[in-house]
């Protein structure tokens, strides 16, 4: 695991400008980002938490624009809301849910990404759940090549429990299907690189099965302050890695 203060990271993009060439051993097909630090960003500025959420929503669209320049990238996963977040004070939770839903619809409106909602979005108020599923369905019909997973009311233990329950119901008809076929990310490559902002150095239950061989990049910047420079450095560091997957 690598801690990466933006001002001290030594990994830099390649000499040819832009992003360095894709490493032979480390193709980046799936990028996952834990969007942490929105409330701390707001507190540090003496503003309401919703201002941090709104700035974080803007940054999510920036991140997708940056990721869209990476050759070979197929999937981006963004985690804006955990199952534990649902226990927050309703006065804070309601504006957060609104910002998340608005941001998903902004992603849809840009027309570049296929949206896939993972987690337990049905635990949100029904009007917001319908809006999220509507955006997902419209993007599916549009047939965009790249996918953005929005992990909403997501918890890794909850995902595994749901996957195992479905697998048991399907047996023995499941045949040789493994647990990966029952996860929310079924059919997708596992994350290659996980970025967490906000200074915390833990996964907090994020995709415990899928991230077994992922590379991690912990950034001290709160999510609303995450920059293109920090993004480029995370990707550049990833491309220096030789991944053996235990072999």
What pLDDT, on the 0 to 100 scale, is given for residue 246? 63
Closest CA to 148 of 105, 84, 197: 105
pLDDT at 21 over 80: no
Is residue 185 domain-resident? no
pLDDT at 193 over 50: yes
Is residue 14 domain-resident? no
CA distance linking residue 44 with residue 52, whole number of Å:
10
pLDDT at 13 over 50: no
What pLDDT, on the 0 to 100 scale, is given for residue 178? 86
CA distance linking residue 232 with residue 237, whole number of Å:
9
Is residue 233 domain-resident? yes
CATH number of the structural domain spanning residue 101: 3.40.1180.10
Active site residues: 36, 85
Closest CA to 207 of 199, 198, 216, 220: 216
Is residue 247 domain-resident? no
Which residue is listed with tokens 């669209």?
61
Domain ranges, residue 230: 2-7+24-155+190-238
pLDDT at 9 over 80: no
% residues pLDDT > 90 (the chain): 79
What pLDDT, on the 0 to 100 scale, is given for residue 15? 31
What pLDDT, on the 0 to 100 scale, is given for residue 108? 97
Is residue 245 domain-resident? no
Is residue 61 domain-resident? yes
pLDDT at 10 over 70: no
Is residue 173 domain-resident? no
Please count the structural domains in the chain.
1
Is residue 179 domain-resident? no
């Amino acid at each position: 695991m690598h801690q990466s203060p933006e001002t001290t990271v030594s990994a830099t993009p390649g000499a040819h400008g832009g992003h360095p060439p894709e490493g032979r051993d480390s193709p980046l097909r799936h990028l996952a980002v834990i969007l942490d630090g929105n409330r701390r960003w707001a507190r540090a500025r003496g503003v309401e938490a919703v201002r941090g959420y709104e700035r974080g929503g803007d940054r999510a669209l920036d991140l997708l624009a940056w990721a869209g320049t990476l050759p070979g990238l197929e999937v981006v996963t963004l985690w804006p809301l955990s199952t534990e977040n649902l226990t927050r004070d309703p006065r804070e939770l309601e504006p957060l849910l609104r910002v998340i839903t608005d941001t998903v619809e902004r992603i849809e409106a840009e027309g570049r990404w296929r949206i896939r909602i993972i987690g337990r979005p049905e635990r949100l108020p029904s009007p917001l759940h319908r809006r999220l599923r509507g955006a997902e369905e419209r993007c599916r019909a549009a047939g965009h090549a790249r996918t953005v997973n929005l992990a909403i009311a997501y918890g890794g233990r909850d995902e595994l429990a749901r996957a195992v329950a479905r697998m048991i119901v399907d047996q023995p008809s499941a045949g040789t299907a493994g647990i990966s076929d029952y996860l929310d990310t079924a059919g997708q490559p596992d994350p290659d690189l996980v970025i967490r902002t906000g200074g915390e150095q833990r996964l907090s239950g994020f995709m415990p099965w899928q991230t077994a061989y992922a590379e991690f990049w912990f950034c001290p910047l709160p999510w609303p302050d995450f920059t293109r420079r920090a993004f480029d450095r995370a990707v550049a560091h990833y491309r220096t890695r030789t991944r053996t997957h235990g072999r």
